[in-house]
């Protein structure tokens, strides 16, 4: 994790190639510079229509012994070493193009990816990094495996501190190892990036029998038997725990932001790493929703009424609590038992009609677009809905937190992405397009 406040990308396109760890399929990987605030993305350019997949925990698919992403039928396998190199070297924005479904294993570490980033050159960008600051202790466990996230010891800290304990018991050929590491690019490149993936001999044989990793030899992966590594000398006496730190740093990047604070780990693997990222995301969303619910309105109901042509019972936005120019707005809809539709819509077990949730999101989108339309003599009229999804029911007593983000505005068409939440849970989502038509006075 870099000390620099500016976001960073690379200066030029670079590439490497190799075979996947599990599939053995050859793949070319190209690193492309990316604009500020775009994050880390994978691009499957081998598809009939190229598919982009963001490196976010929401898209993680269940795989044994690795981290993989899934977008529809398209997967990106074994991404942790590449993400670790990006995190360790302080890269915020990068497009990672692949010609296959698995990143190459190379030497089993992330050092080749680090060297590729160095070859490309690192470029600071005209946007500030917004790291995730761990505020409270968050703990996830699975049997004797544990991860604990803690706030930094110093208020002005700007790095991630990791303490990892690896202990497979007295019968394991890998002894107990402990690694304390402060994430800085130079230290990462020297002390963590060269650490290679490892496996026990019986685990390697089981993988080969299942058809995975059949192309690998003892020189490609560090394999341990009862006497230690087989025909492959260690780069560090504690290389195994260093590689666990490497994997953890890569998996934490699935939060989509750099992390400031401390993480203590004991025997954790990819699945538990993902759970910690989800727990951090949930904590942030709870804090955000709580702050939104308490916020003073930017636009109260009187100003909302002046913008929207709707009136009770079709006025679905009570107040606007955040508005960022023409880019984003957050509004509130308080759902009470006194709503007229509850009298006839499942009266024994009242549920807010989905079409009215969509209407509430559309009205917020109209308010957002109105920031541009106020002096044009135009109004936003619903034109089309796409990618509509309902995630949970909305009942009396719920507070709908509505969010709208502008995708595109043209002369006669506006496009927004909208979400409705109850607490941190998504209730509905939709892409909404509006026709921008001339306003008619009464």
Q: Over range 207-231, report the average pLDDT.
A: 85
| pLDDT score for 195 | 97
Tokens representing residue 417 in the block: 């992405």
Q: Over the stretch 65-109, which tens digit does the pLDDT of each residue have? A: 899 999 888 999 999 999 999 999 999 999 999 999 999 999 999
Predicted local distance difference test score (pLDDT) of residue 8: 97
User: Rounded CA gap, 44 and 281, in Å?
Assistant: 26
Task: Answer whether 116's CB lies under 8 Å from 231's CB.
Answer: no
Whole-model pTM? 0.74
Which of 196-205, 228-237, 238-247, 260-269 is predicted least confidently? 196-205
When pLDDT is averaged across residues 301-311 and rounded to a whole number, the result is 77
Which residues lie below 8 Å from residue 326, measured CB to CB, with a gap of 6+? 368, 369, 371, 372, 406, 409
Share of the chain above pLDDT 90, in %: 62
- State the pLDDT confidence band at 262, using cuts at 50, 70 and 90: very high
Strand order, beta sheet including 94-98: 14-19, 26-33, 94-98, 40-44, 51-54
Average pLDDT over residues 251-274: 96
Mean pLDDT calculated for residue range 33-49: 93
Element (H, E) at 272: helix 270-294
Lowest mean pLDDT of 134-143, 225-234, 380-389, name the range.
Answer: 380-389
Give the whole-angstrom CA distance, residue 239 versus residue 306. 65
How confident is the model at residue 373, as a pLDDT? Answer: 56
Which domains are seen in the chain, by residue range? 6-290 (3.30.230.20), 301-438 (3.10.129.10)
| CA dist 439 → 217, 377, 436 (Å) | 72, 6, 9
Instruction: With H, G, I as helix, E, B as strand and everything else as coil, classify residue 195.
Output: coil
Report the range of poorest mean pLDDT among 19-33, 147-161, 421-435: 421-435
Residues 272-283: what's their mean pLDDT?
Answer: 94
Q: How many CA atoms, within 13 angstroms, populate the side-chain half-sphere of residue 110?
A: 31
Query: So what's the pLDDT on residue 342?
Result: 85
Q: What is the pLDDT of residues 412-438, one digit of tens each?
A: 788 999 999 988 788 999 999 988 777
Average pLDDT of the chain to the nearest whole number: 90
**What is the predicted pLDDT for the residue at 160?**
97
Please report the pLDDT score of residue 372 as a whole number. 64
- Residues taking part in catalysis: 270, 345
Task: Judge contact between 402 and 332, C-beta under 8 A.
Answer: yes
pLDDT of res. 174: 94
**Mean pLDDT, residues 353-363:** 94
pLDDT > 90? residue 40: yes
pLDDT of residue 2: 42
pLDDT value of position 442: 45
Q: Is 31 within 8 Å of 117 (Cβ atoms)?
A: yes
Winning range, highest mean pLDDT, from 2-11, 50-59, 264-273, 379-388: 264-273
Cα angle for residues 38, 43, 46 (degrees, 5° grid): 165
**At 400, is the pLDDT very low, low, confident or very high (cuts 50, 70, 90)?**
very high
* pLDDT interval class at 338 (50, 70, 90): confident
Please give the share of the chain, as a percent, with pLDDT higher than 70.
96
State yes or no: pLDDT of 4 exceeds 60: no
Per-residue pLDDT at 376: 53
Residue 159: pLDDT over 90: yes
């Amino acid at each position: 994790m870099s000390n620099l406040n500016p976001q960073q990308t690379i200066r030029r396109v670079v590439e490497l190639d190799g075979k996947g760890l599990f599939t053995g399929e050859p793949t070319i990987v190209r690193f492309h510079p990316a604009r500020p605030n775009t994050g880390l993305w994978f691009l499957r350019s081998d598809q009939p229509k190229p598919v982009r997949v963001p490196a976010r925990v929401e898209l993680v698919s269940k795989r044994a012994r690795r981290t993989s992403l899934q977008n529809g039928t398209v997967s990106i396998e074994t991404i942790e070493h590449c993400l670790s190199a990006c995190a360790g070297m302080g890269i915020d924005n990068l497009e990672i193009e692949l010609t296959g479904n698995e990143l190459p294993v190379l030497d089993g570490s992330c050092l080749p990816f680090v060297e590729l980033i160095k070859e490309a050159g690192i470029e600071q960008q005209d946007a500030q990094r917004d790291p995730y600051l761990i505020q409270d202790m968050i703990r996830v466990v699975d049997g004797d495996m544990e991860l604990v996230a803690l706030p930094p010891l110093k208020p002005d800290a700007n790095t991630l501190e990791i303490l990892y304990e690896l202990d497979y018991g007295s019968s394991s050929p890998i002894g107990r190892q402990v690694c304390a590491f402060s994430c800085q690019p130079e230290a990462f490149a020297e002390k963590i990036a060269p650490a290679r993936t490892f496996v026990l001999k019986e685990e390697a044989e089981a993988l080969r029998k299942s058809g995975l990793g059949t192309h690998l030899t003892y020189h490609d992966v560090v394999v341990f038997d009862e006497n230690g590594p087989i025909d492959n000398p260690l780069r560090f006496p504690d290389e195994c725990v260093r590689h666990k730190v490497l994997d953890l740093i890569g998996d934490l990047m699935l939060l989509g932001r750099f992390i400031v604070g401390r993480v203590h780990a004991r025997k954790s693997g990819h699945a538990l790493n993902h759970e910690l990222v989800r727990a951090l995301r949930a904590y942030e969303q709870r804090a955000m929703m709580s702050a939104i619910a308490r916020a003073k309105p930017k636009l109260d109901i009187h100003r909302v009424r002046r913008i929207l042509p709707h009136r009770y019972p079709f006025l679905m936005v009570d107040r606007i609590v955040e508005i960022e120019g023409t880019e984003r707005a957050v509004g509130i809809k308080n759902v009470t038992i006194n709503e007229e539709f509850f009298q006839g819509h499942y009266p024994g077990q009242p549920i807010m009609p989905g079409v009215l949730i969509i209407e509430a999101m559309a009205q917020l989108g109209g308010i957002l677009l109105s920031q541009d339309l106020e002096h044009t003599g135009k109004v936003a009229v619903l034109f089309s809905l796409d990618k509509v999804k309902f995630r949970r029911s909305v009942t009396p007593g719920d507070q709908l937190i509505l969010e709208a983000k502008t995708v595109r505005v043209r002369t006669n068409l506006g496009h927004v992405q909208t979400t409705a939440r109850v607490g941190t849970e998504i209730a509905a989502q939709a892409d909404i397009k509006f026709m921008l038509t001339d306003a008619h006075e009464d």
